[in-house]
Every structure is written in C-alpha cells, then in structure tokens.
C-alpha cells in the first residue's frame, strides 16, 4: 500500500497539534514550523498529482479493512488537483499572515493547518459519512478562521455562517442516512453500483435523499438562493482566511462533481444544477455591479464563479466539465489573490494601525499589542504602482478576460456549449450570461480601481512588505504559468472530466473484481 | 412503535425549525439542538426499527443477520452526536461574543424597529 496518500491528512494534523503546544510568545518558531510543514505538504501533493496522472487511481484502505467494510481514501486526478490547489492557497495565506495577521489573534497557524487537513480529507475520502466528518472538520477550522481578528462585523457574520452551515450539515446527515437506509452502504463506489440496482419502488425515496444531500453541498457552493450568507462572511473575514475560503466554496462544487457523476451519471438533477447555476451567476453579476467596496465585490465574485461552474457541470458533457475545471483552477487562484490584495489596498484608506488597535482591544490584551513599526520584512518601493499592476491582473482573472487563464476556461466552455448542432436555446442563454458577467466584472472592478488608484485627493501610501506581496505575486505568476502551459493543463483536466463521466475505473480501483 | 418514533422526529424537527427562524440567538441555538436530535433519531430509524435485538455478533456462533439490529446507524449517530455537541458549544461561545460586541441578543446584532 502506498502511504503517500496519508501525508495530506497526517502532516497537517500532527503539525496543527504541535503548534498548539508551542507558546504564543514564540511566534517565529511557530511560523517556521508551519511554513516547513506546508512546503512538505505541497511536495507530497505534487507527487500524488504526478502519480494520479500516470494514470493511477490510488486507493488506501484505512486500518487495512477492505472496502466496502472499511473506509478508503481515494486519490484520482480530481482529488490530486484539488489537494494541490488547497495546498497552494494554504501556503499563500500562511506567508501573507506572517507580516501582521498572525498577531491579530491566537492560534492562527494551528487553525490554518486544521483547515488544510479538513480540506484534504474531504478531497480524498471515498466514503460518504467520512465526507461528512471531514466537512465538519474543515467547517470547524473555518469558523475559527472567520472569527480570526474578532470585532463586531466578524462575529456577526460568523454567527450567521455557523448557523447556516450547521443546518446544512443536518441536511447532509439526513441525505446520507437515507441513501444508507435504501442501499445499505456508505462507500461511494459501492453506492454507485447499488444505486443502479435499486428497484423502481424505492427510486423516489433514493432520489429525495440524493437531492437533500445535494442541497447540503450547494449551500457550501453558495448556489442561489442558498448563498446569501457567502459575500458577507467572506467580506468580513481577515485577508488570509478569505483567501483560503475561496477554495471552501469549491469544496461544494467538488462534492457535487464527485457524488453526482458517480451515483447518477449525469441523468438525475442536471437541469437543477444548470438553471440553479445560471441563477447564481446572474445574482453574482448583479451583486458585483452593486458592490460599493472591494471585499463585498470579491464575495460576489465567488458566487459568480460558483454559478459558472455549476451551470457548466449541469450540462453533463465531459468537454464542458473539463473546461469548467480549468476555470475552477484559474478563478480560485484569481479570487484568492484578489482577497489578499484587497487588504493591502484598503490599508491606504484606513490606516492599518487603527485596525490592529481595534482588534487588539477587542481581543483583550492591549498591553501585548505590537506596534506597527515592529513588523517583520522589508517595505517595498513603488508600492502603489505594484499594487495597481497586481490589481489589474486580478481584475482580468476575475472578469475572465485574455490573456489570463480564466478567459481560456470560459472560452473552452463556450466552445463546448456551441459544439452541439443545433445549439440549444439554453446554451445561447448561458453564452449571453457568461459574456455579460465578464462585462459587469470589468465595469465594476475598473470603477473601484479608478477610485482607489487615481484618487482626486492625496492618499497615504500603504506600507506593504515583501512577504505580503510575494503570495499575491506567486498566485498571479501561477495563473500566468497556467496560460503558458494551457495545453498540458487542459489535457490533464479533460482526462479528469472523462474519468468523472465514466467512473468505471474509479469503482474498479476501490472494489476490485466487482 | 413506528408511529411514535415518526411523531417524535416530526415534533422535534418542527419545533427546531420554528425556533431556528426566531430572531434571538438563544432560540436559534435551542432550535439547532432540537433539529439535531430529530436528525439523530432519523439516522437511527434508517437502520430499521427493531425491538429486543442486539447489534453485536457473538463470536463462535452461526450468524443469522435477521436476528440482529443494524450496528452501522448506531455508530453514525454516535459520531453525529459528538460533532453536533462540539458545534453547539462553539456556537454558544460565538453567541456570547456577539452579545458582548453588539449589546443585544438579536441575530443581526441590532433590534428591528417593528
């Protein structure tokens, strides 16, 4: 058995636990441990990705109990891709937090590690109930991250966020137990086999259970009308947390992709996903246009991205799914960079010293609050020019304009939409909405960009450190690399999509000989 | 027995949903707790309701699965209870923090005028 697949679970768990034991006064040591562990994690995830592309669906039976009786971890192309994306975002958020956010509240590093562990578990598990457990783990860590830095706005947004996600978790439990009650198994591959053999009398109950499960996933993905909580929470969260959250909504998309395509092919509920995705996209576009400040705009950008993905997945074609996956990677990188950048840009509006003072006072140990001057790292010159450049790149990514990869994803998606002959009206509607969303995001981002970077009155230039700019630049550089290497990336993602639409190989890897 | 269990789940879920939609944070917490009780009972019922049947198989005997209760939902309920418990405790802390920050126990952090 290949133990590499356990690394994305065990490493963050052990590191997080270790970080809890180190005193908060030794922040440098904690930061060093966290960075080293995250780099190791990234290396393991790259190795997993390469193996998944051999192609090899790796299966790890926990405790060596064979499926379907034991719980299995499965790493195929999709899992490996999502793992790597989570790892990259985790590293970016961690590096960004080193400059000041790690001091805004206790145990940020441990929370980040637990968040990564929950995400990795959700992407790896091959068992429906285990998926619930990892959802809860990643949510528990995300509650802590959403609250990081405290303050009335964060606490209020987190209260809503926790209540909604607890309710969604209860729906998850209802859905999962209904599927168990009908099929008698929770292993995903086994479920896929047994669902095909369910007698027609039980079919309605089974589909009701699956639909309830789907609602639980779609709350995470923020599908309209289940996603009203999302912009507020994301806008209120601290920058590193928000950057990591941009993959949190993609966990819902991942779960839909995995579970829906495995259980039902693309037969049941595709229209719901397609039209729900369109409604989400439309709502996201309206929200982007209406937003007056950058954090909310980025929150609605997450919704628009979710909507595009859901609509594309709902079409139920392998070509569209592959394009959607490309768009998923590009838009997640872009949104994460935007969330990090927003905090740097907003500093020129409200001096960050105030922010720190407020959070430190709310947190209760004003005596220990560090002076802003003490912060580590070198301030970079030509700050506004660099910030403006990075903002422009983020805007291109979020709006899906060339030459950045989000455009390629959208373009491939449109190609898949128009491949059918004759082109169905729904595809035209999708095309119109996608183009409109690009225009709306461009209008909105350039409006805010002009206000921030070309102000009428003199504005203080924020102090930005290299360690804060590096993650933003790194995420943007990754997206540039994705454009340059679009050929191999697209090939990988098309293979992923085709494996998802024909899950025979997945089932045979988990249950040999069935 | 089926009717009793179904009624219990229905009453718990109904009261839970009603409380969840109330404007006070404490009502929301109680609502979520009631809902999670309802869901736990529901998971239990999904393993089929049985009287006087044990879930644990004796070693060294011929096994007739029909004589045993399904152990799986019982294990699931145990996990769900533990997780629900932890999450409720966390929500209570956030509730207290919100009360401290905003000075009100309204879920939106401010009283509506109506």
In chain B, what are the domains?
2-50+69-102 (1.10.287)
> Residue A463: phi, psi to the nearest 5?
-85, 115
* Cβ neighbourhood burial of A449 (10 Å; 0-12, 13-18, 19+): middle
> Which pLDDT score is estimated for B68?
83
Contact B42 A174 (CB under 8 A): yes
Q: Measured between CB atoms, which of B20, B43, B101 is closest to A173?
A: B43
pLDDT in tens, A4-25: 899 999 999 999 999 999 888 8
Nearest C-alpha in B relative to A134: B83
> Which pLDDT score is estimated for A371?
44
Minimum mean pLDDT among A228-232, A265-269, A281-285, A350-354: which range? Answer: A350-354
> Which pLDDT score is estimated for A380?
62
Number of CB atoms found within 10 A of residue A232's CB: 18
pLDDT in tens, B40-58: 999 999 888 888 888 887 7
Cα–Cα distance measured from residue A96 to residue A291, given in angstroms and rounded to the nearest whole number: 25
Q: Look at residue A350 and tell me whether its pLDDT is greater than 90.
A: no
Question: How does residue B66 score in pLDDT terms, banded at 50, 70 and 90?
Answer: confident
Closest by alpha carbon to A197, among A211, A215, A185?
A185
Coil, helix or strand for A465?
strand
Contact B101 A140 (CB under 8 A): no
* Higher pLDDT, residue A68 or A421: A68
Cα–Cα distance measured from residue A131 to residue A176, given in angstroms and rounded to the nearest whole number: 10
**For residues A243-257, average pLDDT:** 91
> Which pLDDT score is estimated for A424?
82
* Higher pLDDT, residue A69 or A461: A69
Interface test with B, best of A160, A173, A176, A208 (most B CBs within 10 A): A173
B72 Cβ under 8 Å from any chain A Cβ = yes
**For residues A376-386, average pLDDT:** 68
Closest by alpha carbon to A203, among A272, A130, A267?
A267
> Which pLDDT score is estimated for A280?
93
**For residues A138-158, average pLDDT:** 88
B41 Cβ under 8 Å from any chain A Cβ = no
> Which pLDDT score is estimated for A348?
66
Question: How does residue A219 score in pLDDT terms, banded at 50, 70 and 90?
Answer: very high
Question: How does residue A421 score in pLDDT terms, banded at 50, 70 and 90?
Answer: confident
How close, in Å, is residue A311 to chain B by CA atoms? 30
pLDDT in tens, A75-111: 989 999 999 999 999 999 999 988 888 877 788 889 9
Across chain B, what does the average pLDDT equal?
87
ipTM of predicted assembly, 2 dp: 0.93
């Amino acid at each position: 058995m290949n133990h590499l697949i356990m690394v994305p679970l065990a490493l963050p768990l052990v590191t997080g636990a270790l970080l809890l034991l180190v005193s908060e006064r030794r922040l440098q040591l904690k930061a060093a441990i966290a960075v080293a562990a995250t780099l190791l994690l990234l290396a393991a995830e790259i190795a997993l990705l390469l193996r998944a592309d051999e192609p090899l669906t790796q299966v790890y039976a926990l405790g060596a109990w064979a499926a379907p009786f034991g719980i299995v971890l499965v790493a195929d192309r999709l899992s490996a891709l999502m793992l790597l994306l989570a790892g990259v975002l985790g590293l970016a958020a961690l590096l960004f937090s080193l400059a000041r956010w790690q001091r805004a509240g206790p145990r940020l590093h441990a929370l980040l590690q637990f968040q990564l562990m929950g995400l990795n578990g959700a992407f790896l598990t091959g068992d429906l109930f285990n998926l619930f457990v990892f959802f809860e783990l990643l949510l528990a860590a995300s509650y802590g991250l959403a609250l990081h830095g405290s303050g009335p706005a964060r606490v209020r947004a987190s209260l809503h966020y926790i209540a909604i996600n607890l309710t969604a978790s209860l729906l998850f439990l209802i859905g999962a137990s209904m599927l168990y009650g009908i099929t008698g198994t929770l292993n995903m591959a086994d479920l896929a086999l047994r669902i095909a053999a369910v007698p027609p009398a039980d079919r309605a109950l089974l589909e009701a259970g699956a639909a309830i499960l789907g609602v639980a996933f779609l709350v995470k993905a923020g599908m309209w009308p289940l996603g009203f909580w999302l912009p507020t929470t994301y806008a209120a969260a601290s920058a590193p947390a928000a950057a990591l959250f941009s993959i949190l909504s993609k966990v819902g998309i991942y779960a839909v992709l995995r579970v829906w395509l495995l259980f039902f092919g693309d037969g049941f509920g595709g229209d719901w996903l397609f039209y729900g995705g369109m409604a989400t996209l439309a709502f996201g576009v309206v929200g982007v246009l209406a937003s007056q400040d950058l954090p909310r705009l980025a929150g609605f950008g997450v919704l628009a991205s979710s909507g595009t993905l859901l609509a594309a997945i709902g079409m139920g074609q392998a070509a569209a799914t592959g394009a959607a996956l490309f768009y998923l990677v590009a838009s997640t990188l872009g949104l994460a960079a935007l969330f990090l950048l927003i905090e740097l840009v907003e500093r020129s509006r409200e001096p960050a010293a105030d922010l720190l003072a407020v959070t430190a006072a709310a947190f209760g140990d004003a005596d220990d609050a560090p002076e802003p001057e003490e912060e580590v790292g070198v301030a970079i010159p030509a700050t506004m020019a660099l910030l403006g450049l990075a903002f422009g790149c983020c805007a291109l990514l979020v709006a899906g304009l060339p030459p950045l990869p989000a455009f390629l994803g959208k373009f491939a998606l449109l190609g898949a939409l128009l491949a059918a002959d004759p082109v169905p009206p729904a595809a035209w509607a999708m095309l119109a909405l996608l183009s409109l969303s690009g225009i709306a995001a461009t209008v909105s981002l350039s409006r805010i960009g002009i206000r921030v970077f070309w102000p009428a009155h003199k504005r203080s230039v924020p102090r930005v450190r290299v360690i804060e700019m590096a993650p933003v630049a790194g995420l943007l550089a990754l997206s540039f690399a994705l454009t340059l290497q679009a050929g191999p990336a697209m090939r990988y993602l098309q293979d992923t999509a085709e494996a998802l639409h024909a899950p025979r190989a997945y089932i045979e890897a988990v249950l040999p000989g069935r | 027995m089926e009717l009793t269990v179904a009624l219990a789940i229905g009453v718990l879920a109904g009261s839970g949903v009603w409380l969840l939609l109330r404007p006070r944070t404490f009502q929301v917490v109680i609502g979520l707790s009631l809902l999670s009780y309802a869901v736990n009972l529901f998971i239990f019922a999904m393993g089929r309701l049985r009287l006087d049947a044990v879930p644990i198989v004796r070693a060294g005997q011929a096994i007739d699965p029909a004589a045993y209760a399904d152990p799986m939902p019982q294990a699931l309920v145990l996990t769900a209870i533990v997780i629900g418990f932890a999450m409720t405790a966390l929500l209570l802390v956030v509730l207290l923090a919100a009360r401290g920050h905003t000075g009100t126990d309204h879920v939106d952090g401010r009283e509506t005028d109506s």
